[in-house]
Amino acid sequence: MEAQARMRNAKVLVINLGSLAAETVKNLVLAGIGAITIVDENNVGAEDLGANFFLTDEDVGKNRASAAQRRIEKLNPRVAVSCEEKSVKGIDSKWLANYDLVLATELDYDQFCTINEASREAKRPFYAAGLCGLFGFVFADLIEHTFTIDRVNPNTGQKLGPETSTREILSVDTKEEGGTVTQVVKKIERYRSLKEVVQGLDESFGTGLSTRQKLRVNPLLPLLLAQWDGPYEYEDQLRTKAAEKCKQLGLPAEIVTDSAVSFFYNGIGAEFSPVAAILGGVLAQNILNYFSQSIQPIQNALLFNGLTNEGPIYVL
């Protein structure tokens, strides 16, 4: 009941309403989130119509969020939906403090970092997400997030203290009912900002991996890091920078295949509905998990590769 109350009272801010945000908003509204505010200064263009189901031909030229508002509201009249034609430059920590969670999409690296730092000042959890053709990512900075999990008839006990480099067990309570033993384990997960993560990446990432594990690392990781150092006029420039990122991370350059580079480069700025649907579903569920405080959240980067249909999570 408490989890449902938190969800019904939650106020979520969504920055930009591209196809990924549209899928996420749809799922949150259908789940009964309390309120959603969408900030978008962009107008609807022809490129929006192929992947954003909230928009039609009649909306071309109108503000993207305002054009979609009525259709979003129809999904669930109990959810309060509001829109603002506000520039990202006008978003600060004082304004973000009005919301319980911030989701930023369709921004460049510097803009993501600016919003992330403002959300930290406001002590608000932050998600960054984006698409690049067949690829997509979700990054989470929940600052410090406490949650509980139930372990039914556990075979082993749980010790208080650090569980991983980012997670700590705070308490363990045991209850028995009808012959079933349940451990209620309370944990806290600690996060770093996007800027801290990116600036801190080095060879230690690959140190603990076997040769086989290194070869299986999602090529989106070095490609995305390389793209954030861009833009690039030619595909070969991206390939060279991605190889440099592999070296920085202690990974073999061969994980960045020619096909991965080509699909990524040619997918910059492109939104594919199937990828948006997959990632939007995962993102919405993680936001709901955050409010439920009963499921372990993403820590801290999910990278989806549409070439292999894999979406591993990396602690960066």
pLDDT digits (tens, 9 = 90+) for 205-226: 999 899 999 999 999 999 999 9
Tell me which residue range forms the domain holding 86. Answer: 2-142+271-314
Residue 175's pLDDT band, with cuts at 50, 70 and 90, is confident
Q: What is the DSSP string of 222-236?
A: HHHHHHHT---SSHH
pLDDT at 189: 96
121 and 75 within one domain: yes
pLDDT at 154: 82
pLDDT at 67: 94
Number of compact structural domains in the chain: 3
179 and 38 within one domain: no
* Span 236-240, average pLDDT: 96
99 and 23 within one domain: yes
239 and 126 within one domain: no
The percent helix, strand, coil of the chain (3-state, each to 5) is: 40, 25, 35
Residue that wins the pLDDT comparison between 295 and 127 = 127
* Span 61-85, average pLDDT: 95
pLDDT at 153: 81
27 and 168 within one domain: no
281 and 254 within one domain: no
- Asked if pLDDT for residue 50 goes beyond 90, the answer is no
pLDDT at 160: 93
* Span 12-16, average pLDDT: 98
Phi, psi (rounded to 5 degrees) for 295: -135, 140
209 and 293 within one domain: no
- Asked if pLDDT for residue 81 goes beyond 90, the answer is yes
275 and 127 within one domain: yes
Q: What gap in Å lies between CA 265 and CA 42, rounded to an integer? A: 23
pLDDT at 265: 95
CATH at residue 6: 3.40.50.720
